[in-house]
Structure 1
C-alpha cells in the first residue's frame, strides 16, 4: 500500500517527463524518441504509409462526428476506451493496402477523372446541382489543407475505390437466397398456453419420512452443504464514515462555491444547426425557399452532400457563437430559421431546434453537497496518512489491535463465506478475496477498496464445508422435498391431461379452470423471440409443429401445455416482402463485399509486411483533447 501511494504521488512527475519527451512538429510530425529523426507515419503496409496527418485528421473528424451525434463532447481517452483509435487505424491500413495493390498493378487515376469527381461532389454544388467554385474554395479554406492536397486525396480515394470495386463488383447474394432466409426468419407462430403449476399440488404431498429426507439430501447434497466459513478480525478506516465527523466552516463552503461557480450556473443555450453559403444572395434565396415551404434545412444539406454531423453545432451559448449570429440567435425566443447572418465562414442560415433556459443552483441549495465533498476530500487525506502509519506499525510487528489503538482505524469482526452478500460488508470483492487467501493467524497489510475504504485483516479460524445433521436442517430439506414432489405431480398431471384430450381438440380453458388460472394467448412470434414467463424450450418446439397440435414443456415450476393456433408465413410478393428482400440482398452483399476487402487487405498486409508505430500513435493522441 505504501509503495502504491508513493507511486501515485510520483505519477504526475512521470507525465511531466513524458511531456518533455514529446516534441510536436508542423503537420503533426513527431520526433522519434528512439532515433531522433522526424516520423511522419503511424503505420506502413509494404511501401504505402498511413501518415500522422491522415490518422490525426481521421480521428479528430470521427471524434467530432460522434460528439455531435450524442450531443456531448467525447474525450480522446473515452474514444480509446471504446476502441475508436483501433477502428480508424484498421480502416486506414486497409486503404493503404488497396493503394499498394494499385501501385503494383500500375493503376492510377487521371487528372480528368479527378476533375469530374470534383465537379460531381455534392458538397461543391449549389441548389441547382451545378458545381460552385465559391463553395469549393470555402471548403478548402475551412479544411486547413491546400487545393492540391485535397485533389491528391481525391485521386487516391478514387484509385482505392476502383481496386475495391474490381474485387467486389461480382459479390452479390441471389434474391432467391434472400427469400429463403426471410421465409425462415420471417415466419411467425401464434399459440395459446396454460400452466400446470407445482404449487397446485403442494397440499396433495404427504409428510416425508426421515428415510425419504435422507435420500433427498443424498441426491441434492450440494444444496445443503454449508460453505467454507472464515472468522475474521479486521481494522477498518472508511472515509465516508470519517467524513461525517469532520466539520467544514461556512466560510470554506462559500469559498468553494465561488471558486466553482461554473458548476452551479449554466448560461442560456440553443441547440442549433448552421449551413454556410458562398454569397449573401445564395443565403437569401435559400431563406426565401424555406419561408415559402419549398424546401427544408435537411433537403438543402442533403443536396450539398452534408450529413447531420456536418451542419449541427449542438448546444451553444451566446458567447460561443458571438457577433451578429449570437445576437440573432439569442434575440429570438422561439425555435425556427434565423438569418441569413454574416459569420466568420461567410453568410449562413441557422435553425434553432431547442432552447435551454439558464439555470442556477444557489449556495443554500449546494451547501450540503459541498460539505460532503470537502469533508470527503479531507477524509481521504486522513486515510492516506493513517494507512501509511498502519503499514509502518504492522511492518514493525504490531497487531491489528495495536493498530486500532494507535490510529483512526476501528477494530471489527465478521463471519464470512464466498456467498456473503456484497451489501453486508464493505469492499466485499476485495475483502472476501483477501479473507480466502490469507493464511491463518497472520496480520495482513492494509488493502484499499473501490470505495476508498482501507482494511487490514487476520483470519482467526476456518470452518470447512460440511453437511449438517438432518435435525439442524430439517425444515429446509422438508420444504425442498415438498416442492420437488409437487412439481413432479404437476408434470405427471400435465401428461395425463394431454393424453386424455378429445379428438375435437383440447379445451385449454377447462384445464386452466382446474388450477384457477387463465389461458394465455401469444401473437405470432419469430424464432428468436423469448416471451416472458414461457419455458426456454417452448419456442423452438412450436416451429416443428403443425397448426392445431398440442404439446407440453416442463420447467422448474411444473409444466406448460400449449397449442399452436396460427402459422404466419412470410410473403415475398407483398410490398413489405419485396422491400425486405431488397434490403437483405443489399445488406448481405455489402457485408460480403466488406469481408472480401478485409480478407484481401489482411493477406496483402501479411505478405508485404505491416508495421505499426504504437509509440507515435500514443504521442499523436496525447495531443488531441
Structure 2
C-alpha cells in the first residue's frame, strides 16, 4: 500500500497538488467543512509575534490528511501519513501562514467587514440547498467544531489579508518565453527505437521454493502478511427520511398536494410559437384583418422584411412562457397552425402563431400516491427530529445499546460484522457507508463499549456509531499464508530471472553484434516504435522504458522494465528528433498553468524564507506530536 502511495505521490498531478498545498493553507485559511477548534496559549509554531496553537496545528493536520486521503481514495492511517511527510508539510504550511500574518501586522493591512461578510457567505459549507447563506447552518457547523464565531471570523480576516499579499507578489505572473520554448523542446522531443521484449517465456520455469527459502522470504517480508485491525460496528441514522411515516398521510392530503403540484408528475404540454410585432394597435388590427381574409402569417412576415428565424419565438410550456397574457393566448389556440388575435406584448401589440404542439403527459394520482405520501411524511418528520434525538439520548443514558435505542425509536440500525480503517471487509470488499471517512474515524478512534458523540448527517440529521468488537492487527503466521508467500516468492524469482536475461542480451550487443542479430539468434521478432514522447505514455514500454530511451544519443542501447512485469525491454535508439514548436500558444493551458504556479510558489517561497530569517521561527515538535495523538 505504501509503495503504491509513494509512486502515486511522484506523479506530476500529485506534485502539483503538493505545490499548491504549501501555498494554499497560508493563503486561503480554514474552510468551514474542516473546522476543529482554534485557540489556547500553547504554541506549536511561532514566527515573530505570531503563535500557532496546538489546536490550530491539529486542524491543519486534519485538513491535509483529509485532502490526501481523498486523492488516494482511502482513509490514510497515522503511519501512512508519517511516511508521506504530512506532519512536516503541515509545520511548513503553518510557518508560512504565520509569516504572512506577521508581515500583514507590520504593514498594518486589513479587510473591510463588508468584504469579509461576502467571503464567509460564499463558503459552500454554510449554504443551504438553494446555494444561499444559512445562518443556522453557519452557527451549527461552528458549534459542532467547538469554535466561536469570533475565532472563525478572525481567521477568515487573516486569510483574506494573506491573499492580498500573495496577489500583490505573484498576481499576473507569467513564465518567460525562453523557459516556455525550452519546455516545449523538452516535451515535444521524440525518439525512434527498435526493441526486444524479454518475457518469462524466455527463461526456465521457476520451481517451488524449499521450506528454507519460504521461511527466509516470509521473514524478510513480514509486513506484507499482517492482518489489519478489524472492528465490528453498529450505526444508525436519524434524518427526516428515516423517521418519516407515509402511512400517517391521508389520501385527502396526498390528493391536495398532487393537484397543487401536478406539473411535477409528468411532462407539461409545450408549444412552438412564432410572433409578429407591430408598432401600434391600429397596424396590428389591420394585419389581423388580413389574416382573417386569407393572407398567410409568413406573407405578413415577408411584408415586414423578416425571415422565419426572425419571427420564431421558441418552444415553451405554459409555465415557462414569456409573459402570462402571451401564454394564455398561445395555449388557448386549439390546433397547430392557428393564429391569435392582437395581444398586448411587453413592447407593443403582437400576433402569435402556434406551429407545433407537443402533448403533455401527467401521471395519474394512483401511480404517484406512494411517492407523494413519502414526500409529505418527510417534510412533517423534520419537526420531530429534536424529540426523537432527546428520546434516543434518554434510552442510551438508561443503559440501552445503540441497536436497542435505535430500534425503540423506530430507526433501522445496521451492524457491520468486520471492517478495517480503509472501509474493507476481511475479504477485501469495499463497503459503502454513510459519511464513511468520519464514521470510520470515529469507530477506530474510540474504544469498544464507549458512547461516541453523534456525527452531523445532512442538514438536520445525526449519525451514531458504536464499536461492538475489536479484532486487533496481528501478524499472520506462515502456515496461514503459505500459498501466498510461495506465489510471491516465485513472482520475485521470475522478475529477477527475466531481468538477468535482459542484461545478458544487452551484453551481447557490442561491436558488430546488433540487437537484430541477437533477436535472430534467439528466434524472436525485433519490433520498432517511432515518435516516442517523454510524456506520451506507452502500453508496452511504460514510464521506465520511455525514460531509458531519452537517456542518451542516437545509438544508445539500454535495458529497462516494461509496462507489464516481469517483462523487460532491451532497446536501441535509432532516431533522435528535437521539438520545434515555440511560443505560449504552443504550450497546453494546463502545462502553462502548472509552470506559472511553480514560478509563483518559488517566488512565494523565497519571500517567506527571507522573512522567516528576519522574524525568527521556532517549532515545538513535542506539542505537535501530542496534537496528532489527540486527533
TM-score w.r.t. structure 2 length? 0.46
